[in-house]
Amino acid sequence: MKKNKFEIGILILAMLVSMALIPAVGAQQEDNFSEDEYYLPDYGPSIFADLEDDSDVIDIRGTMPEIKVDEEQWEWLQVINTSILRSEKEISPYMRANGGPLIGFGYSVNGYIFVEFDEKLRDSIDISTIDKLYSITQI
């Protein structure tokens, strides 16, 4: 993939309460997707537009790059997977197991990074927490 695509729209972050309908790969999984296993939709602003209609989405940050070529989409998924893996240590204190509001984080095959909050704590999530998580997961 051309580097300028990465420079234009690097990070996608959707703050989600429930991921029941969105296929995702957790940060703990180290297996790579195979092109034979999944269909990837065209990446672009329409992905975010669809998320904006989801009542479980709290916030959407960043820019969704336009990527329609399969090979470039797989490269993009590797970039955001690397970002998630590098963010694990800093995100760990925010996980429910450590007393935080997160129950998961990773990336969607739809081309964006997500963090998943405990639904019971939805009302206590403030903008500063979202800002901090966004800054941790930036690519």
Residue 46 phi, psi (nearest 5): -65, -30
> pTM for this structure?
0.71
Tokens of 110: 């739809």
For residue range 13-42, what is the model confidence (pLDDT) as tens digits?
444 443 333 444 444 444 455 556 668 999
Joined together, the tokens standing for residue 24 give: 């995702």
Domain boundaries of the chain, sorted by first residue: 3-116+126-137
Q: How many residues does the chain have?
A: 139
Neighbouring residues of 78: CB distance < 8 A, sequence distance ≥ 6:
32
What integer pLDDT is reported at residue 32 of this predicted model?
Answer: 53
pLDDT tens string 100-115: 999 999 999 999 999 9
Residue 124 has pLDDT above 80, yes or no: yes
At position 107, the amino acid (one-letter code) is: Y
Q: Which two tokens stand for residue 67?
A: 């990527």
pLDDT in tens, 53-83: 998 899 999 888 999 999 999 999 999 999 9
Exposed e or buried b for every residue in 56-93, given b needs 16+ CB within 10 A?
A: bbeebbbebbebeeeebbbebbeebbebbeebeeebee
